[in-house]
Structure 1
Amino acid sequence: MTNNESQGEIYKVTGPVVIATDMNPQMYDVVSVGKEELMGEVIQIEGEKSYIQVYEDTTGVKPGEPVKNTEQPLSVELGPGLLGSIYDGLQRPLPQLEEQSGSFIARGEEAPGIDLDEEHDFKPTVEEGDEVSQGDVIGKVEVDYGTHKVLVPPNVEEGEVAEVNSGNHTVTETVVTLENGEEIQMRQEWPIREARPAAEEKRPEVPLITGQRVLDGMFPIAKGGTAAIPGPFGSGKTVTQQSLAKFSDADIIVYIGCGERGNEMTEVLEEFPELEDPQTGDKIINRTVLIANTSNMPVAAREASIYTGVTIAEYFRDMGLDVALMADSTSRWAEAMREVSARLEEMPGERGYPAYLASRLAEFYERAGRVEPLSNQDPGSVSIVGAVSPPGGDFSEPVTQNTLRVVKNFWALDSDLAEKRHFPSINWDDSYSGYSDKLAEYFQEEVEDDWPQKIQRARDLLQKDGDLQETVQLVGKDALPDRERLTLEIATMVKEFFLQQNAFHPVDQYSSPEKTYHILDLILEWGDSAYEALEDGAVVQDIVTLSSKNRISEMQTSEEYLELKQELQKQMQDEFEEVVEE
């Protein structure tokens, strides 16, 4: 393009959408809009008119002002220095923006996604004469969280290494030069709307250990899997996602606050830099990338924040790392799409959402997966957990329903459970996992052989409890046969001692798969002993008032849970013998 062709002028302004003429752009080109050069992206082209999604407030922007085309797609900067960063939805570092313009970000402010002046000690893993191709590891840099691998960008042609520059360099300096003239830096750029390539998709057969008993036990998720957490206001979506971010066994966390209230993001921004990492003992922020695009920030940038986050996640995946991405919430992202779609005067779909809502959700969740990177090193994965905020808790609304079609895990939060202070308030009747069968083998090998049988017994108990509750509401608990009254008690133990977990208790906030198994095993052992005692003539009331029953709850908060389990097994044996003799 000539200079003249790449500059147009504003024809019309409608909120975050600006219509420009005389531009001749490509779809998704990044442009600078108006005299203040606000960042925007071409999202629709109709003849001479280009429709631009502007990522900043357009107040005061007028027809006739210039629009310049960068002729580049919206991209993120990737390299050493990403971890520990706090960005807005366009990968502008918020601390730097605050330094430049104060607490309220001025329009048109820009800052690089990674520090371009900081030097890193580049240690090459290749020598002159080596053949390298897309995705290959050419060197390493030590960062706070360990080793950052420097990769050949996916869009670089393979070639022979001509020169290697080890030592301290900024991310924009050339560290490896190829015979074909390609110069490779530690910094990469990648378009956010394009998935990064991988060599091969792998089966999702390794669990993402979350430390939450209800998830690891009843509804496990695989590394590279997808999950949705729908729930009404106050049901615990954000706390559940924050627990996953803190305690899951992912190597890297990408946390996207997409359209959430500022005070909720403030909690995350204040907590993560101070929180001790249970994996390393260091600060959890050192392996985290935070993207804060709150509800008072420009609506168009909210739409981009999801893609920014998943592109950063794919970059770490390509190093052979496991990444957990939390999107809180995809409903706010869909609302941003709806607002922009309305400005474009597109034909609305159900409840005003654009007709392409389902395909956009599918495109996002499809970027999850466990893959073999281009460099043929260890598999890496991106697991996506998206919160959904259906208005009034109505799971039949379009965002929840379209999410349901593409995710394999559905963790439905229940406001009734939240009101009863049962947390995590995941409804065991409405939730499901599409990975349970695939992951059963792993838990059998790594925890106990009878893991699947124990979990199935717990499910059967909860199912039976749900059926009996309907009868109880009609005729009362006392009208039930003794065995069924006992079943209700054992199901209550499963709900209170196994499924319930205190996110703020220093011990109970994380439960290893081994601890999860032993708590459930002890509950079921107590239940089996109770049924036997009943058959041997014991009275139900005497059985349910045994002190060993309530002491099982001590397992939740005990660090020495195996010793406690043995003590409780002995107490149970003595008590049941005594109650039968009476």
Structure 2
Amino acid sequence: MSDTKRTGIIRDINGPIVTVELPGVRSGEQVKIGELGLFGEVISLRGQLAVVQTYESTDGVRPGEPAQGLGWPLSVELGPGLMGGIFDGVQRPLEKIALESGDYIRRGISVPALDRAREWEFEPNRELSPGTKVGPGVVLGTVQETTTVLHRIMVPPGVEGELLEVAPAGEYDIESTIARVRDPRGISHRLSMYQRWPVRKPRPYLRRDDGISPLITGQRVIDTFFPQLKGGKGAVPGPFGAGKTVVQQQIARWSNADIVIYVGCGERGNELVDVLESFPELDDPYTGRKLMERTLLVANTSNMPVVAREASVYVGITMAEYYRDMGYDVVMLADSTSRWAEALREVSGRLGQMPVEEGYPAYLASRLAAVYERAGRVETYGAGSGSVTLIGAVSPPGGDFSEPVTSHTKDIIETFWALSKELADARHYPSIDWVTSFSKHVQTAAQWWHKEIDPDWEKRRTSALALLARDAELSRIVNLVGPEALSDAQRWELEGASLIKEGVLQQSALDEIDTFCSPQKQFALLDLAITIYKRGAALIKLGVPVSELQHLPLMAKMRRLKSMYSSEQLDQVLAFRAEVDHAMESVRIEYAKHGEQV
């Protein structure tokens, strides 16, 4: 779009929807509204009239006040200085805004996302020289953005041609010229260390690839039972109080992604305050540095403007794509897409569009799909492979998974971590229901687990899920007629499932030892639980009463083992296998002797 600014006047105001007379304005263009200078974007055109949705409240704005088209769509600034930042839904830096306007964002305030005064140490790409042909994604040089993240300064999309010059090593601010490129038409392009990109337009890449390695989150029920690949699409649906935010925060804290982007979209302020206060204090388990050195946050709480809430997801995914283009594996967490969909519904109602399911607009499914499809593992233009893993929380009213946002999301994503109110009420966390959850990545993840951890991973996982399914069947019988109706073998199946649920699936985010669990420890715990069950089943066939096995000291220790030893103390976890073997063998010998005496 052109940078030419156009002027007009306000004709009508309906909440965040403003009709302006603005000749020559384009659909999608950003507009400044009224004397306050509120920002918005054109969403439809009716002759000389443009319908604008504003990112801030229009209280006090009157028809007849001026409107100005800015010449570009809603865009984000991409360059050094993003990492470790906290932004609102339209990428305004909240820490800088707090210095200017206090605890509340003053309407019309405009603060650039990137610091213009700060200088960065630029190291040019030694392989480039004047006369070299360059194109989108070619790395011009690097900047050490944080100790953890090396920021690659790239030729922006849409620019290619002959490289005329690259700045020598030194300190530059983000607006300084660090390269010049002459395109085939003879036009010279001045390149700086940052670029602008419209948030609703996916950034280009060379080609899309399939995911090849799992996103390790340190959460056993996710990594072992319902794995997510890097570049995959996942959802965490669940009713109020089931622990969606905690699950997403655990993924943000412990995942092995290079970059983490957390988007708080319409959630309660106290939950986001917890994120904003706790994340800067956390240490990165992979680098030993502060977690914020590879994390950025987008905060749009429930009391912030509804239209900016809809924009916040696009802002987050665009920044994720930018770091993906540098060759990084990025995980983006959106909490929650239900609040994002509610923003769509409110704006749609203001526009008078025909509502469909539960008042949502007819384009809800296509908008959801368009956002999730921006995730993926790709071959970039100049930095090898990179990925964006998108995980969205969904908040179905009353826990009804058949409502539109959840049902449409379920059709789009590849990993579904369904949270259960019953499990949460029973203090079983994470409350991910192993019956209704699923992952389409198991076969691919198995290749990694078999190579890196143990070739029996898939067998152990399948055995555990089969035992949990059998537990669900037997539990219904117990509820109807009581445990006395079950045989010892069936009661032992219930005990084995209980071992898996309490000794493997349960994991407290507040437990310093168990909040993170390495893949090695995950498999060791699962293997021990399955081994205990199988050894016990063999003993029951010999006639050992189930009550005797239930009261073995090893049963209680198996349930506590996860919190007794950290991932660094794997040897102690593995040593428990000898205790299991000794105890089970002692029982077998005792009953073998008893059988001989009889």
Shared fold, TM over 0.5: yes
Residue 335 of structure 1 is aligned with which of 318, 338, 342?
342
> Shift of the alpha carbon at 1:513?
1.1
2:33 and 2:66 in contact (8 A); partners too = yes
Aligned residue number for residue 580 of structure 2: 572
> Shift of the alpha carbon at 1:554?
3.5
Aligned residue number for residue 170 of structure 2: 167
Whole-angstrom distance in 1 between the partners of 2:544 and 2:535: 11
2:167 and 2:178 in contact (8 A); partners too = yes
SS in structure 2 at match of 1:556 = helix
SS in structure 2 at match of 1:150 = strand
Residue 447 of structure 1 is aligned with which of 443, 453, 457?
453
Whole-angstrom distance in 1 between the partners of 2:455 and 2:474: 31
> Shift of the alpha carbon at 1:177?
1.5
SS in structure 1 at match of 2:526 = helix
Aligned residue number for residue 142 of structure 1: 144
1:93 and 1:111 in contact (8 A); partners too = yes
Whole-angstrom distance in 2 between the partners of 1:229 and 1:487: 29
Where does the alignment leave 5 or more consecutive residues of structure 2 unmatched? 592-598
Residues 206 and 574 of structure 1, relative CA distance in 2, 3 Å threshold: closer
2:265 and 2:313 in contact (8 A); partners too = yes
Out of 196-205 and 238-247, give the one that drifted further. Answer: 196-205
Whole-angstrom distance in 2 between the partners of 1:34 and 1:513: 56
- What code does the residue aligned with 2:365 have? A
Whole-angstrom distance in 1 between the partners of 2:51 and 2:71: 15
Residue 238 of structure 2 is aligned with which of 231, 241, 252?
231
Whole-angstrom distance in 2 between the partners of 1:374 and 1:3: 27
1:128 and 1:164 in contact (8 A); partners too = no
Identity in percent: 46
Aligned residue number for residue 258 of structure 1: 265
Whole-angstrom distance in 2 between the partners of 1:338 and 1:189: 29
Residues 416 and 45 of structure 1, relative CA distance in 2, 3 Å threshold: same
Whole-angstrom distance in 1 between the partners of 2:244 and 2:520: 26
Aligned residue number for residue 360 of structure 1: 367
> Shift of the alpha carbon at 1:577?
3.0
The answer on 1:538 being equivalent to 2:557 is no
Aligned residue number for residue 86 of structure 1: 86
After the TM superposition, which residues 169-318 of structure 1 pair with which residues of structure 2 at under 5 Å, given as runs?
169-180=172-183, 181-318=188-325
Whole-angstrom distance in 1 between the partners of 2:414 and 2:575: 40
1:35 and 1:66 in contact (8 A); partners too = yes
- What code does the residue aligned with 2:577 have? Q
Aligned residue number for residue 130 of structure 2: 128
> Shift of the alpha carbon at 1:302?
0.4
Q: Summarize deviations over 1:27-80 as a string: whole Å, max 9, x none.
A: 110000011111010011122321101011100111111111011111000001
- What code does the residue aligned with 1:300 have? V
Aligned residue number for residue 50 of structure 1: 50
Q: Summarize deviations over 1:545-573 as a string: whole Å, max 9, x none.
A: 10111111343120365433444222222
Dislocated runs of 4+, deviation >4 Å:
1-5
The answer on 1:410 being equivalent to 2:416 is yes
1:306 and 1:327 in contact (8 A); partners too = yes
Residues 5 and 327 of structure 1, relative CA distance in 2, 3 Å threshold: closer
1:365 and 1:406 in contact (8 A); partners too = yes
Where does the alignment leave 5 or more consecutive residues of structure 1 unmatched? none
After the TM superposition, which residues 476-491 of structure 1 pair with which residues of structure 2 at under 5 Å, given as runs?
476-491=482-497
SS in structure 1 at match of 2:157 = coil
Out of 72-81 and 141-150, give the one that drifted further. Answer: 141-150
TM-score when normalising by structure 1: 0.98
Residues 244 and 4 of structure 1, relative CA distance in 2, 3 Å threshold: closer
> Shift of the alpha carbon at 1:163?
4.2
Residue 372 of structure 1 is aligned with which of 342, 354, 379?
379
> Shift of the alpha carbon at 1:179?
4.0
Whole-angstrom distance in 1 between the partners of 2:381 and 2:458: 35
Out of 43-52 and 11-20, give the one that drifted further. Answer: 43-52
Aligned residue number for residue 562 of structure 2: 556
1:542 and 1:579 in contact (8 A); partners too = no
SS in structure 2 at match of 1:272 = helix
Q: Summarize deviations over 1:62-116 as a string: whole Å, max 9, x none.
A: 1111111011111000001000000000100001111111111111101111111
SS in structure 2 at match of 1:457 = helix
SS in structure 2 at match of 1:99 = helix
> Shift of the alpha carbon at 1:405?
1.0
> Shift of the alpha carbon at 1:211?
0.6
1:131 and 1:161 in contact (8 A); partners too = no
Q: Summarize deviations over 1:361-382 as a string: whole Å, max 9, x none.
A: 000000000001111x331000
Whole-angstrom distance in 2 between the partners of 1:398 and 1:43: 24
Whole-angstrom distance in 2 between the partners of 1:386 and 1:2: 35
2:86 and 2:296 in contact (8 A); partners too = yes
Whole-angstrom distance in 2 between the partners of 1:332 and 1:373: 32
> Shift of the alpha carbon at 1:5?
9.0
Aligned residue number for residue 595 of structure 2: none
Residue 397 of structure 1 is aligned with which of 387, 392, 403?
403
After the TM superposition, which residues 417-432 of structure 1 pair with which residues of structure 2 at under 5 Å, given as runs?
417-432=423-438
Aligned length: 581
Aligned residue number for residue 159 of structure 2: 156
Residues 566 and 323 of structure 1, relative CA distance in 2, 3 Å threshold: closer
> Shift of the alpha carbon at 1:129?
3.0
1:165 and 1:176 in contact (8 A); partners too = no
1:166 and 1:175 in contact (8 A); partners too = no
SS in structure 2 at match of 1:182 = strand
Aligned residue number for residue 38 of structure 1: 38
Q: Summarize deviations over 1:151-209 as a string: whole Å, max 9, x none.
A: 11012123233343431100001011224422111111000000000011111121111
- What code does the residue aligned with 2:500 have? V
RMSD: 1.5
The answer on 1:493 being equivalent to 2:499 is yes
Q: Summarize deviations over 1:251-284 as a string: whole Å, max 9, x none.
A: 0000000001111000000001111111111111
Whole-angstrom distance in 2 between the partners of 1:64 and 1:437: 62
Residues 262 and 4 of structure 1, relative CA distance in 2, 3 Å threshold: closer
- What code does the residue aligned with 2:202 have? A
- What code does the residue aligned with 2:167 have? V
Whole-angstrom distance in 1 between the partners of 2:371 and 2:79: 23
1:31 and 1:39 in contact (8 A); partners too = yes
The answer on 1:461 being equivalent to 2:467 is yes
Aligned residue number for residue 76 of structure 2: 76
Residues 567 and 22 of structure 1, relative CA distance in 2, 3 Å threshold: closer
Whole-angstrom distance in 1 between the partners of 2:46 and 2:398: 38
Whole-angstrom distance in 2 between the partners of 1:199 and 1:189: 20
1:555 and 1:561 in contact (8 A); partners too = no
